[in-house]
């Protein structure tokens, strides 16, 4: 069932390839809470696996050298040569703690323009994939590319651009262009087979089918698909069969089986038989107990009447499985005897019984809730992935999104929430529907009625999935969720974790806060993200965030709102951290923190005298809790008092000498 332009979800633990030359590695979300944000682990795992499976295309070395020398490389190459996979691996090689991976999406409504210098952070790894761009979009990107390259150079970042094949390129950019060519197909196939765990002595032997397949100049995607079929054939055939038989089964599975499965369905007309066909196709590889219970649940969902036959006269499972060309192995797990039969049957029932579709969503809910020792998370994840594959394959992303929302709202436990996250993940990762899902999630975060546990599902999707490749979009969505948060702090914590790894994202959030209405939720977020330590640290560049004029304006605006509108008990602990950091930071950076506090207080109009006094009193209190003793903190307090006096026109502009500070009680 290889149909051009379709989306096929076969094995959510394997490699999913969804377009010529582009390799999408989906390992399934790992959503357990931990000390580190999950999205970092997911992104790292995906990129590391991609690096191991990629066979370097011709001119990979030249691309690597160009990127190292200039910070920019523009990849060209025929579709199917592995351009985007190569781009991701090149960027993975420049991963540093100071930057984040960021896939640029010019033209989306909540993305910064390519010429905006704030798009690039120190040490970032930027991917601009325009391999499928139309002439107009490519021309617009070329106009912005000089400004983007300048920002990349200044921030010691790295940029890989994937250009349209044979697209035009300005003469001054030709130096950065590297044309890659597909690597040997047999080598690619063997690398995938090795990564799938096949024995060396098997995949290294010559096979006519495999040789004919790779000699046809297949796109990297098709070779990866064939390797996955060989892997699954190995898992289902008899122990005495080897590589030759596995390749033969993979070749048969690539044939169009629509007529074959249509004939089988027409032959099996009884409701229990068809329910079993659907259950096995959607839960392929699950234990027979799960298949049996899922079949009964489907019949109940469809309100099929009982046959009234006494229990002992029913066909046993072995006979029922034989009728539908399925079998159980020694471990009791059910699979069709013919490879890839499951995906063909899923497509058949979905395409030719459209009235069945809404019932399959309801049925999947009951299976997700199934209390059975064999209904392990991998089984649930596979079910959601296969159901999502049918929605996405037929352009029904809206129905998949609605199903995920319903699972979140009606959740009776963690299983449905995990299913909802998994469903939205497949939507976001789909190259055709990803933009639609990003837009939909934005609307939910900003305006949606977040009932039940839906807000927590959105938090996890933004932090664990979206942030891995689109951190700016994740930032904006988490910000809106954090503003609306009442009974939990998960959105805020996810937001803090996201900006902790990127000064650029912290700068953008501070700017967003300063331009907001600075409501109490905004001020609470500000007090947490304005930690003075990352504000005064250098991160690969010569300037700290607090030394940037735009950041200073954002900090002053927000601190003014804090001092004007919040009680002292709320802001005192945060001001204390600023005062302690001012005392601990040598030179101008420590003094700058005091200037920002005084500047914010000075804006308080008629209340500024009262705010100055409160700020000074807070500094004196902070001396007692100063890390490393009060001596340097006393100096900072006296310097603060001097700045307050200057702001009020009560003292000389020159600060007192350091030796004279701290002498007054």
Predicted confidence (pLDDT) at residue 171 exceeds the cutoff of 70? yes
Confidence at residue 412, expressed as pLDDT on a 0 to 100 scale: 74
Residues 651 and 508 in one domain: yes
Q: Which helix (H) or strand (E) holds 416?
A: helix 414-429
Do residues 190 and 91 make contact, with C-beta atoms less than 8 angstroms apart?
no
With residues binned 3-state (H G I as helix, E B as strand, rest as coil), the percentages for the chain, rounded to 5, are: 60, 5, 35
In a domain, 2, yes or no: yes
Work out the angle at residue 193's Cα, subtended by the Cα atoms of residues 187 and 197, and round it to the nearest 5 degrees: 140
Cross-strand bridge partners of residue 161:
74, 128
Confidence at residue 14, expressed as pLDDT on a 0 to 100 scale: 35
Q: How far is it, in rounded angstroms, from Cα 165 to Cα 182? A: 13
- Reference 554, options 590, 508, 519, 591; nearest CA is 508
Kindly give the interhelix angle for 83-92 and 60-70, rounded to the nearest 10 degrees.
50
In a domain, 493, yes or no: no
- Reference 575, options 553, 551, 596, 557; nearest CA is 596
Q: How far is it, in rounded angstroms, from Cα 353 to Cα 275? A: 13
Residues 89 and 172 in one domain: yes
Confidence at residue 107, expressed as pLDDT on a 0 to 100 scale: 81
Least confident of 12-21, 230-239, 278-287: 12-21
Q: How far is it, in rounded angstroms, from Cα 174 to Cα 73? A: 10
Residues 370 and 381 in one domain: no
Tokens matching residue 501: 């790894």
Which of 253, 285, 304 is the endpoint of a domain? Answer: 253
Distance separating the N- and C-terminal Cα atoms of the chain: 84
Residues 517 and 653 in one domain: yes
Residues 329 and 360 in one domain: yes
Confidence at residue 392, expressed as pLDDT on a 0 to 100 scale: 97
Do residues 161 and 73 make contact, with C-beta atoms less than 8 angstroms apart?
yes
- Write the DSSP string, 319-370: HHHHHTTEEE-TT-BEEESSTTHHHHHHHHHHHH-GGGHHHHHHHHHHHHT-
Confidence at residue 356, expressed as pLDDT on a 0 to 100 scale: 95
Q: How far is it, in rounded angstroms, from Cα 532 to Cα 534? A: 6
Confidence at residue 540, expressed as pLDDT on a 0 to 100 scale: 58
Confidence at residue 17, expressed as pLDDT on a 0 to 100 scale: 37
Predicted confidence (pLDDT) at residue 164 exceeds the cutoff of 90? yes
Structure letter (DSSP) for residue 412: S
Question: How many independent structural domains does the chain possess?
Answer: 5
Tokens matching residue 661: 């500070």
Residues 647 and 512 in one domain: yes
| Tokens 């790992």 sit on residue | 30
Tokens matching residue 53: 């499976």
Mean pLDDT of 622-637: 82
Predicted confidence (pLDDT) at residue 598 exceeds the cutoff of 90? yes
Higher pLDDT pick, 649 / 336? 336
Percent of residues, the chain, with pLDDT higher than 70 = 89
Strands 72-76 and 326-328, bridge-based pairing: unpaired
Q: How far is it, in rounded angstroms, from Cα 501 to Cα 589? A: 21
Confidence at residue 235, expressed as pLDDT on a 0 to 100 scale: 82
pLDDT in tens, 540-551: 556 889 999 999
Who contacts 624 (Cβ-Cβ below 8 Å, separation ≥6)?
Answer: 630
In a domain, 495, yes or no: no
Confidence at residue 3, expressed as pLDDT on a 0 to 100 scale: 38
Predicted confidence (pLDDT) at residue 96 exceeds the cutoff of 50? yes
Confidence at residue 590, expressed as pLDDT on a 0 to 100 scale: 86
Confidence at residue 368, expressed as pLDDT on a 0 to 100 scale: 95
Q: Which helix (H) or strand (E) holds 75?
A: strand 72-76
Mean pLDDT of 335-356: 94
In a domain, 485, yes or no: no
Q: How far is it, in rounded angstroms, from Cα 634 to Cα 619? A: 9
Range of the structural domain that residue 287 is part of: 258-375
Residues 281 and 311 in one domain: yes
Least confident of 232-241, 435-444, 611-620: 232-241
- Would you tell me how many other CB atoms lie within 10 Å of the CB of residue 344? 21
Q: How far is it, in rounded angstroms, from Cα 204 to Cα 193? A: 10
Predicted confidence (pLDDT) at residue 283 exceeds the cutoff of 80? yes
Which of 375, 394, 415 is the endpoint of a domain? Answer: 375
Residues 630 and 507 in one domain: yes
Residues 638 and 570 in one domain: yes
Residue 429, burial from CB neighbour count under 10 angstroms (0-12, 13-18, 19+)? buried
In a domain, 342, yes or no: yes
pLDDT in tens, 451-469: 999 999 999 999 999 998 8
pLDDT mean across residues, the chain: 87
Residues 158 and 77 in one domain: yes
Least confident of 232-236, 363-367, 458-462, 463-467: 232-236
Q: How far is it, in rounded angstroms, from Cα 619 to Cα 640? A: 8
Which of 159, 179, 199 is the endpoint of a domain? Answer: 179
Residues 65 and 166 in one domain: yes
Structure letter (DSSP) for residue 181: B
Confidence at residue 42, expressed as pLDDT on a 0 to 100 scale: 55
């Amino acid at each position: 069932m290889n149909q051009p332009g379709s989306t096929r979800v076969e094995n959510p633990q394997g490699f999913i390839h969804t377009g010529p030359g582009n390799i999408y590695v989906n390992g399934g979300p790992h959503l357990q809470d931990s000390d580190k944000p999950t999205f970092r682990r997911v992104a790292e795992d995906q990129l590391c696996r991609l690096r191991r499976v990629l066979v370097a295309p011709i001119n990979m070395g030249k691309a690597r050298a160009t990127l190292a020398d200039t910070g920019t490389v523009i990849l060209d190459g025929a579709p199917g040569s592995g351009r985007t996979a190569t781009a991701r691996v090149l960027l993975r090689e420049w991963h540093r703690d100071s930057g984040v991976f960021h896939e640029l999406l010019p033209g989306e409504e909540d993305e910064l323009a390519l010429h905006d210098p704030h798009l690039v952070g120190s040490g970032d790894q930027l991917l601009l994939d325009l391999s499928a761009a139309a002439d107009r979009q490519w021309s617009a990107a070329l106009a912005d590319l000089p400004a983007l390259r300048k920002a990349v150079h200044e921030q010691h970042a790295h940029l890989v651009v994937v250009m349209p094949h044979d697209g035009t390129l300005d003469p001054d950019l030709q130096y950065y262009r590297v044309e890659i060519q597909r690597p040997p197909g047999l080598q690619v196939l063997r690398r995938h087979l090795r990564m799938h765990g096949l024995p060396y002595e098997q995949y290294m032997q010559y096979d006519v089918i495999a040789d004919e397949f790779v000699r046809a100049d297949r796109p990297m995607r098709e070779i990866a698909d064939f390797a996955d079929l060989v892997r699954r054939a190995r898992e289902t055939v008899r122990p005495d069969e080897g590589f030759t038989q596995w390749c033969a089964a993979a070749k048969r599975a690539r044939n169009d089986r629509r007529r074959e499965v249509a004939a089988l369905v027409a032959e099996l007309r009884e409701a229990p038989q068809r329910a079993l066909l659907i259950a096995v196709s959607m839960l392929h590889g699950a234990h027979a107990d799960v298949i049996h219970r899922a079949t009964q649940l489907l019949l109940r969902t469809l309100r099929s009447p009982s046959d009234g036959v006494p229990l002992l006269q029913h066909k046993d499972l072995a006979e029922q499985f034989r009728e539908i060309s399925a079998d159980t192995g020694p471990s009791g797990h059910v699979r069709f005897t013919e490879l890839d039969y499951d995906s063909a049957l899923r497509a058949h029932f979905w395409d030719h019984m459209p009235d069945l579709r809404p019932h399959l969503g309801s049925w999947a809910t009951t299976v997700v809730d199934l209390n059975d020792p064999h209904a392990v998370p991998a089984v649930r994840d596979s079910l959601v992935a296969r159901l999502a594959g049918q929605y996405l394959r037929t352009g029904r992303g809206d129905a998949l999104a609605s199903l995920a929302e319903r699972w979140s709202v009606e959740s009776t436990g963690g299983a449905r929430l995990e299913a909802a996250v998994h469903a939205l993940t497949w939507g976001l990762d789909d190259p055709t529907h990803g933009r639609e899902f990003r837009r939909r999630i934005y609307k939910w975060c900003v305006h949606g009625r977040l009932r039940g546990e839906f807000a927590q599902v959105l938090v996890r999707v933004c932090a664990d999935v979206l942030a891995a490749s689109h951190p700016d979009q994740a930032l904006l969505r988490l910000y809106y969720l954090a503003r609306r948060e009442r009974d939990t702090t998960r959105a805020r914590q996810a937001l803090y974790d996201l900006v902790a790894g990127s000064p650029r994202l912290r700068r953008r959030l501070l700017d967003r806060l300063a331009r907001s209405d600075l409501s109490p939720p905004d001020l609470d977020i500000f007090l947490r993200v304005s930690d003075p330590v990352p504000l005064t640290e250098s991160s690969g560049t010569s300037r700290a965030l607090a030394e940037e004029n735009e950041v200073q304006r954002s900090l002053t605006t927000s601190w003014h709102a804090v001092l004007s509108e919040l009680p002292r008990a709320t802001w005192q602990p945060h001001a204390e951290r600023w005062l302690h950091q001012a005392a601990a930071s040598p030179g101008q950076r420590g003094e700058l923190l005091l200037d920002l506090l005084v500047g914010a207080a000075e804006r308080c109009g008629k209340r500024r005298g009262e705010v100055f006094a409160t700020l000074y009193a807070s500094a004196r209190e902070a001396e007692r809790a100063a890390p490393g003793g009060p001596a340097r903190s006393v100096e900072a307090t006296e310097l603060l008092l001097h700045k307050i006096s200057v702001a009020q026109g009560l003292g000389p502009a020159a600060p007192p000498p350091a030796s004279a500070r701290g002498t007054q009680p």
